[in-house]
Amino acid sequence: MKNPNGIQTLMISAKKINDRTKAIVIINPNNPTGALYPKEVLEQIVQVAREHQLIIFSDEIYDRLVMDGEKHISIASLAPDLFCVTFSGLSKSHMIAGFRVGWMILSGNKAMAKDYIEGLNMLSNMRLCSNVPGQSIVQTALGGHQSVEDYIMPGGRIYEQREFIYKALTDIPGISAVKPKAAFYIFPKIDTKKFNIVNDEQFVLDLLREKKVLLIHGGGFNWQQPDHFRVVYLPRIEVLKKATDSMADFLNHYHQ
């Protein structure tokens, strides 16, 4: 489910389910695309899971980083009859990655996953948990002023960086992109014929060596074609400008 074209990918993925399939994993909002799955796509995922009695694991750690007036929908709210495990935390939405505070929410038909839940209880009884200082900030972070809302509105840092990176990348000949709706990633497409790219990992290594700009190639996210790469647009605009100017200069002459 990492293609911005979520519905088409869902149809392809459903054909891969066999008698060994135990669960469906989704990342919504998505890394690496920055896509936000609409309700109709989530409902189709639920229907597939329901037909095959599959567990749904949903990583929703970017759920507060949603822009353009869009709304994040937790897939568990659409599947009360299925066993769902929803993952979230503070490291992304509250920009405190170093605290490593996260949680899992188990909902729906827990009878489907007795062994799994027993394993979780065993781990928790062994005192495997987040650090105490980190736990102490959860209530304040979730219940206090949500500064992230200032970041994702027009004029806010993440919003403006998203606007900048989308335009800067799509202004480069041979690069196209879908504007992300959430998180802080963009997954541009590169014209492989124009640059004769047959190995996307080689492309990002060549860029790194020549321009000292680091990207992640699409293959790092199991994308099969050598025509995508991921950009994290968390750096401030002046840093993003320097990086995209370097990319544009690199692609002026690059031919693999």
* DSSP structure string for 75-105: GGGG-TTS-EEEEEESTTTTS-GGG--EEEE
- Encode pLDDT of 198-221 as tens digits: 999 999 999 999 999 999 999 999
> Closest Cα to residue 58, out of 85, 30, 91, 29?
85
Lowest mean pLDDT among 4-8, 14-18, 80-84, 204-208: 4-8
pLDDT at 221: 94
pLDDT at 218: 96
Q: Is 123 helix (H, G, I), strand (E, B) or coil?
A: helix
* Euclidean distance between CA atoms 49 and 34, whole angstroms: 24
Q: Is 106 helix (H, G, I), strand (E, B) or coil?
A: strand
Quote the Cα angle for 20-45-108, to 5°: 80
User: Which DSSP letter does residue 242 get?
Assistant: H
pLDDT at 98: 79
**Are the C-beta atoms of residues 91 and 106 closer than 8 Å to each other?**
no
Where residue 145 falls among pLDDT bands split at 50, 70, 90? confident
> Closest Cα to residue 35, out of 188, 214, 179?
179
Q: Residue 128: pLDDT above 60?
A: yes
pLDDT at 8: 53
* Euclidean distance between CA atoms 168 and 222, whole angstroms: 26
Residue type, 60: E
Q: Residue 131: pLDDT above 90?
A: no
Domains and CATH numbers, the chain: 7-145 (3.40.640.10), 150-253 (3.90.1150.10)
Q: Is 179 buried (19+), middle (13-18) or exposed (0-12) by CB count in 10 A?
A: middle
> Closest Cα to residue 34, out of 9, 67, 57?
67
* Euclidean distance between CA atoms 40 and 35, whole angstroms: 14
- Encode pLDDT of 99-126 as tens digits: 788 899 999 999 989 999 999 999 888 8
